[in-house]
């Protein structure tokens, strides 16, 4: 070991590692595992994207042309499950693996072998999800929210989805334990909590959310499983159960889940904006407090997803007020980003474009979130395309754009080469334009009364649906540019400097590019 | 293809010329009740507030992006903290939120006030149609999609009310407070009429309520708003609001119709096999064909075939029991809401249609005996 270390940075020391496929199966290295997570996530993103395009094809025109309604419902359900659990969440864990040790000056993650296991649980889960299309009755068609009692009616595809969610949940919990332990115990000397980069802070809070709510989801879907097969009646009114209880349990998981998918995105944007504004992040401590407030509030707003189930006026009012409150810390974050830009010296490389795009488009999702927080308006808009527009503005233009920004920001550190800036800009602008062509008209169709999750629609929605479908194909194809940029960057190009970006601060930029296989074996000292 | 392109182009033009043509494509449907109007106004108010915030916040961001860039020679300042500013931009949004919450609270309370209705209608969600019971008047009927398959599958031109038309609409008097009680037979549905500002989930085993008062006569169309299985998109809701005199006439008419049907279903009546089969075929088309298909072949993997099935060719008691009580844990719902005669007819039909040749004629009395 010592001999290998003596090579120092800049030399690969793969001598004591298996090579080829076994390297990836047995690896306990945080960088390898980060890479695996990111590629897994991108593959699932493509699968989920193809499902989305398949359902947009059916919605291109009114009438049933391509799919049977029951298959259409499978497409919407699996698109949701795969994107949430297969694409967005693992992407952020990939970032955590690559970046957290390098940003806090740790040599690796705290539990290296568990790290390997938490990744390798994911492919079997993904296979269960994809294979469920081919079992009798097809994949689950109960929506990604798998509401009972519809989900108790489903075929064996539902059971496969339940097992997949169990496995992914276990993987998330392990990943979170690892991240929390790493952050709390392995920071370099001198790096106090309030000196941590904001990305690390947001992930610390996210990991706590995950540990708190993934078991809740596991409980909810286990109850569905026993209702389906073992004669229990948790959600069956005829047996003394309550279908609405499922929704309460699901959304007690589901709302924090929404923030699980956006807080690390906030973290990435908070790294990118100061770098390209060449100015320190404005209001660091208020950012930390705002993130924590959002996390705490996320536990007391769940019933705003179910205003139409019929709850007492006092409950509706409580959940409305609590939901509106979330706008305050979220607003603080947006204001802080803009104050960071203010009187900076900005340049607009691809990461900054994605960060600015994020702030702009995510905020539109935030605004519609405020509209939906107002109970009476929500009752009109619940389960319409307005909601579909809203959550795609925060999940695609929010989480996904931040993920893209993060990849462009750190990929020179990962590969040692600069990505193709021109192609990166094309990727940004095409994504941004097609994203809005796809999802902006959905606000209108939702307001005008188009329910979500329908394979066919009344004629007044035809124009907007046609536009959305065209936009969706444009958006989907634009992502191939991203794949091309990443592959090109891995294969070579202009050498990246260690301090890749002029204004970047943080320990990861003190390392060579590409970051050596082992970093910070001797902890750096943070002043 | 050219017409598609032309339509696309027209849609794009319409999008840029917001508000010129078909303004109600871009906003909530024109409100037709007090609550719908309150919701509409609330939404407009919030949109104006949001627009103001949007202009201020993104105005600042755009200004900064244009002026504070390296390429125009702007040097970065290094300020990074200001407690006063943080307090200000925490407190101001909070105050704005209170301004929004106040009118919203009033509307929530108004929406919840279902007391003293003039008329109470129970809406029951079924996979995939609605059943209505006028509690005081004693009127009951089912309301299913009236759009023909030919239009859905593109063999016939689509009508203006495509997918938003039913065989039996809900008829209500204008200006009267109508309380809607919702429940469901199988899974969760949601009873939604946008123009009346009313959406209430229909939950199996539970009863919920809501209300509306239609301002003026008209036909108001809505759809099921909660995913309820394969034909979720095909169970619309149509409410016809009419003058009170017309409503009274409609009630009378419905009662007469029901009395006639009841007389025809006189429990003492004896039915021949062919009569039962003929009636059963209609009941089957209305209730069973969506899943088990008109051919009786079902959908492999999802919905079992009845043609040659063990239940449909085995003892008739078992067959009746499945129709009456459903099969828990599957999509097979209980159909005990159908009359004894209808169930007898449909069971008879299923036992004698396609390749099923049991020759059994199930009588209403058989069904009655098996009801729990």
Mind listing the pLDDT tens digit for each residue in A70-120? 999 999 999 999 999 999 999 999 999 999 999 999 999 999 999 999 999
With CB atoms and an 8 Å threshold, state whether B76 touches A343. Answer: yes
pLDDT at A454 over 60: yes
Whether B223 has its CB under 8 Å from any CB of chain A: the answer is yes
Q: Is A257 a catalytic residue?
A: yes
Q: Is A385 a catalytic residue?
A: no
With CB atoms and an 8 Å threshold, state whether B10 touches A463. Answer: yes
Q: Which residues of A touch B100 (CB under 8 A)?
A: 324, 370, 374
pLDDT score for B178 = 96
Rounded to a whole number of angstroms, the distance from the CA of B46 to the nearest CA of chain A is 7
pLDDT-based confidence at A14, cuts 50/70/90? very low
| pTM as predicted | 0.90
**Tens of pLDDT, residues A466-513:** 999 999 999 999 999 999 999 999 998 899 999 999 999 999 999 999
| Chain B residue with Cα closest to A374 | B104
Question: Which whole number is the average pLDDT over A442-470?
Answer: 95
pLDDT score for B302 = 74
Q: Is A79 a catalytic residue?
A: yes
Whether B53 has its CB under 8 Å from any CB of chain A: the answer is yes
CB atoms within 10 A of CB A241: 19
pLDDT at A399 over 80: yes
Report the relative pairing of strands B119-126 and B178-184 from DSSP bridges. parallel
The residue to which tokens 């009419």 are assigned: B242
**Tens of pLDDT, residues A144-163:** 999 999 999 898 999 999 99
Q: Which residues of B touch A463 (CB under 8 A)?
A: 7-8, 10-11, 14, 25
**Tens of pLDDT, residues B331-369:** 787 888 888 888 888 899 998 888 888 888 888 888 888
Whether B200 has its CB under 8 Å from any CB of chain A: the answer is yes
pLDDT score for B81 = 87
pLDDT score for B6 = 57
Annotated catalytic residue, options A56, A228, A279, A305: A305
pLDDT at B251 over 90: yes
Q: Is A108 a catalytic residue?
A: yes
Q: How many whole angstroms separate alpha carbon B235 and alpha carbon B226?
A: 11
Whether B8 has its CB under 8 Å from any CB of chain A: the answer is yes
Note if the bond before A452 is cis, omega within 30 degrees: no
Q: Which residues of B touch A228 (CB under 8 A)?
A: 329
Nearest by CB to A149, which of B160, B187, B225? B187
Q: Is A172 a catalytic residue?
A: yes
Question: Which whole number is the average pLDDT over B270-277?
Answer: 83
The full DSSP string for B166-234 is BSS-EEEETTS-EEEEEEESSS-EEEEEGGGTEEEEE-BT--EEEEE-BSSSEEEEEEE-S--STTGGG
The share of chain A scoring above pLDDT 70, in percent, equals 97
pLDDT-based confidence at A6, cuts 50/70/90? very low
β-bridge partners, B124 = B131, B183
CA atoms within 13 A on the CB side of B286: 21
Nearest by CB to B69, which of A244, A320, A347? A347
Spatial CB neighbours of B81, under 8 Å, sequence gap ≥ 6? A282, A283, A284, A285
With CB atoms and an 8 Å threshold, state whether B329 touches A451. Answer: no
pLDDT at B15 over 60: no
* Chain B residues 84-123 with CB within 8 Å of chain A: 85-86, 89-90, 93-94, 97, 100-101, 104-105, 107-109, 111-112
With CB atoms and an 8 Å threshold, state whether B57 touches A338. Answer: yes
Q: How many whole angstroms separate alpha carbon B58 and alpha carbon B64?
A: 9
Annotated catalytic residue, options A56, A58, A118, A144: A144
pLDDT at A12 over 60: no
**Tens of pLDDT, residues A210-258:** 999 999 999 999 999 999 999 999 999 988 999 999 999 999 999 999 9
CB atoms within 10 A of CB B214: 25
With CB atoms and an 8 Å threshold, state whether B229 touches A141. Answer: yes
With CB atoms and an 8 Å threshold, state whether A367 touches B29. Answer: no
Nearest one of B118, B157, B39, B64 to A61, comparing CA atoms: B157
pLDDT-based confidence at A16, cuts 50/70/90? low
Question: Which whole number is the average pLDDT over A286-295?
Answer: 96
Give this complex's ipTM: 0.90
pLDDT at A388 over 60: yes
Spatial CB neighbours of B192, under 8 Å, sequence gap ≥ 6? A451, B198, B199, B200, B222, B223, B224, B225, B237
pLDDT-based confidence at B10, cuts 50/70/90? low
**Tens of pLDDT, residues A339-369:** 999 999 999 999 999 999 999 999 999 999 9
pLDDT-based confidence at A1, cuts 50/70/90? very low
Say which range, A232-241, B149-158, B275-284, has the weakest mean pLDDT.
Answer: B275-284
Q: Which two tokens stand for residue A168?
A: 């992914």
- Write down the mean pLDDT value for chain A: 93
Cα B135–chain centre separation: 20
Q: Which residues of A touch B12 (CB under 8 A)?
A: 467
pLDDT score for B21 = 38
Question: Which whole number is the average pLDDT over A423-442?
Answer: 96
Rounded to a whole number of angstroms, the distance from the CA of B358 to the nearest CA of chain A is 29
Answer whether B179's CB lies under 8 Å from B211's CB.
Answer: yes
Question: Which whole number is the average pLDDT over B115-138?
Answer: 94
* Chain A residues 64-103 with CB within 8 Å of chain B: 64-65, 68-70, 73
With CB atoms and an 8 Å threshold, state whether A243 touches B299. Answer: no
With CB atoms and an 8 Å threshold, state whether B58 touches A360. Answer: yes
| Chain A residue with Cα closest to B16 | A441
Q: How many whole angstroms separate alpha carbon A260 and alpha carbon A158?
A: 24
β-bridge partners, B200 = B191
Q: Is A383 a catalytic residue?
A: no
Nearest one of B194, B212, B242 to B118, comparing CA atoms: B212
With CB atoms and an 8 Å threshold, state whether B68 touches A345. Answer: yes
Q: Which residues of A touch B300 (CB under 8 A)?
A: 136
Answer whether B347's CB lies under 8 Å from B358's CB.
Answer: no
Q: How many whole angstroms separate alpha carbon B307 and alpha carbon B354?
A: 6
* Chain A residues 163-222 with CB within 8 Å of chain B: none
Q: Which residues of B touch A277 (CB under 8 A)?
A: 68, 76
pLDDT score for B353 = 86
| Chain B residue with Cα closest to A348 | B69
Whether B165 has its CB under 8 Å from any CB of chain A: the answer is no
**Tens of pLDDT, residues B295-343:** 888 877 778 888 888 888 888 888 988 888 888 767 787 888 888 888 8
């Amino acid at each position: 070991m010592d001999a290998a270390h003596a090579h120092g940075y800049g030399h690969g020391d793969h001598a004591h590692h298996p090579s080829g496929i076994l390297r990836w199966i047995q690896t306990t290295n945080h960088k390898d595992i980060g890479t695996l997570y990111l590629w897994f996530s991108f593959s699932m993103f493509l699968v989920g994207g193809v499902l989305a395009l398949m359902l947009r094809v059916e919605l291109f025109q009114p009438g049933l042309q391509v799919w049977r309604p029951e298959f259409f419902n499978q497409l919407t359900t699996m698109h949701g499950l795969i994107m949430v659990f297969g694409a967005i969440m693992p992407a952020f864990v990939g970032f955590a693996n690559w970046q957290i040790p390098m940003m806090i000056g740790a040599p690796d993650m705290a539990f290296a072998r568990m790290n390997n296991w938490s990744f390798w649980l994911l492919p079997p889960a993904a296979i269960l999800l994809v294979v469920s299309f081919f079992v009798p009755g097809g994949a689950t068609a109960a929506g990604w929210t798998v509401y009972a009692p519809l989900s108790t009616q489903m075929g064996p595809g539902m059971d496969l989805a339940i097992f997949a969610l169990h496995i992914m949940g276990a993987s998330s919990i392990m990943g979170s334990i690892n991240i929390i332990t790493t952050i709390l115990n392995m920071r370099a000397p001198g790096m106090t909590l309030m000196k941590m980069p904001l990305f690390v802070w947001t992930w610390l809070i996210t990991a706590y959310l995950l540990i708190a709510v993934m078991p809740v989801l596991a409980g909810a879907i286990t109850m569905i499983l026993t209702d389906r097969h073992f004669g229990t009646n948790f959600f069956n009114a005829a047996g003394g159960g309550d279908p609405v209880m499922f929704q309460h349990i699901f959304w007690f998981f589901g709302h924090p889940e929404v923030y699980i998918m956006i807080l690390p995105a906030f973290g990435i944007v908070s790294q990118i904006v100061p770098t390209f504004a060449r100015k320190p992040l404005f209001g660091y401590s208020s950012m930390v407090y705002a993130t924590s407030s959002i996390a705490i509030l996320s536990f007391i707003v769940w019933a705003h997803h179910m205003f139409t189930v019929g709850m007492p006026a006092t409950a509706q009012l409580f959940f409305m007020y609590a939901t509106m409150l979330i706008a305050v810390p979220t607003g603080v974050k947006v204001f802080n980003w803009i104050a960071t830009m203010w009187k900076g010296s900005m340049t607009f490389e691809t990461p900054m474009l994605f960060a600015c795009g994020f702030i702009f488009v995510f905020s539109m999702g935030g605004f519609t979130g405020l509209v939906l927080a107002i109970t009476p308006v929500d009752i009109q808009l619940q389960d319409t395309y307005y909601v579909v527009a809203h959550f795609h503005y925060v999940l695609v233009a929010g989480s996904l754009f931040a993920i893209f920004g993060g990849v462009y920001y750190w990929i020179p550190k990962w590969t040692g080469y600069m990505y193709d800036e021109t192609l990166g800009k094309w990727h940004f602008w095409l994504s941004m334009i097609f994203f809005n062509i796809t999802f902006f008209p959905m606000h209108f169709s939702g307001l005008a009364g188009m329910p979500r999750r329908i394979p066919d629609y009344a004629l007044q929605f035809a124009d907007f649906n046609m536009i959305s479908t065209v936009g969706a194909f444009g958006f989907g194809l634009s992502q191939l540019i991203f794949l091309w940029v990443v592959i090109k960057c891995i294969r070579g190009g202009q050498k990246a400097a260690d301090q890749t970006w002029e204004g970047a601060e943080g320990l990861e930029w003190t390392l060579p590019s590409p970051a050596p296989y082992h970093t910070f074996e001797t902890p750096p000292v943070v002043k | 293809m050219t017409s598609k392109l032309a339509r696309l182009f027209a849609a794009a033009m319409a999008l840029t010329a917001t508000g010129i043509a078909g303004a109600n494509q871009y906003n909530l449907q024109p409100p037709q009740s007090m609550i719908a109007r309150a919701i509409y106004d609330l939404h407009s108010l919030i949109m104006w507030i949001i627009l103001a915030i949007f202009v201020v916040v993104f105005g600042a961001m755009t200004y900064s992006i244009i002026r504070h860039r390296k390429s125009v020679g702007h040097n970065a300042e290094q300020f990074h903290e200001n407690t006063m500013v943080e307090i200000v931009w925490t407190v101001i949004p909070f105050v704005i939120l209170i301004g929004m919450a106040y009118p919203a609270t009033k509307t929530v309370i108004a929406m919840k006030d279902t007391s003293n209705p003039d008329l109470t209608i129970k809406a029951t969600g079924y996979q995939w149609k609605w059943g209505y019971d006028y509690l005081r008047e004693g009127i009951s009927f089912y309301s299913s999609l009236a759009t023909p398959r030919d239009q859905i599958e593109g063999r016939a031109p689509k009508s203006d009310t495509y997918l938003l038309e039913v065989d039996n609409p809900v008829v209500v008097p204008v200006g009267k407070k109508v309380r809607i009680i919702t429940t469901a037979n199988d899974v969760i549905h949601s009873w939604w009429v946008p123009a009346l500002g009313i959406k209430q989930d229909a939950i199996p085993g539970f009863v919920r309520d809501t209300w509306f008062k239609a301002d003026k006569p008209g036909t108001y169309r809505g759809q099921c708003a909660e995913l309820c299985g394969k034909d979720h998109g095909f169970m619309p809701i149509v409410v016809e609001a009419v003058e009170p005199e017309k409503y009274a006439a409609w009630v009378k008419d419905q009662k007469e119709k029901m009395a006639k049907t009841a007389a025809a279903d006189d429990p003492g009546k004896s039915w021949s096999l062919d009569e039962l089969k003929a009636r059963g075929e209609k009941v089957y088309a209305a209730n069973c064909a969506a899943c088990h298909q008109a051919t009786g072949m079902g959908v492999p993997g999802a919905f079992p075939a009845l043609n040659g099935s063990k239940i449909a060719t085995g003892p008739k008691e078992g067959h009746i029991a499945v129709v009456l009580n459903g099969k828990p844990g599957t999509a097979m719902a209980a159909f005990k809401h159908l009359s004894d005669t209808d169930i007898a007819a449909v069971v008879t039909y299923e036992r004698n249609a396609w390749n099923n040749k049991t020759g059994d004629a199930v009588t209403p009395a058989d069904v009655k005996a098996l009801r729990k």
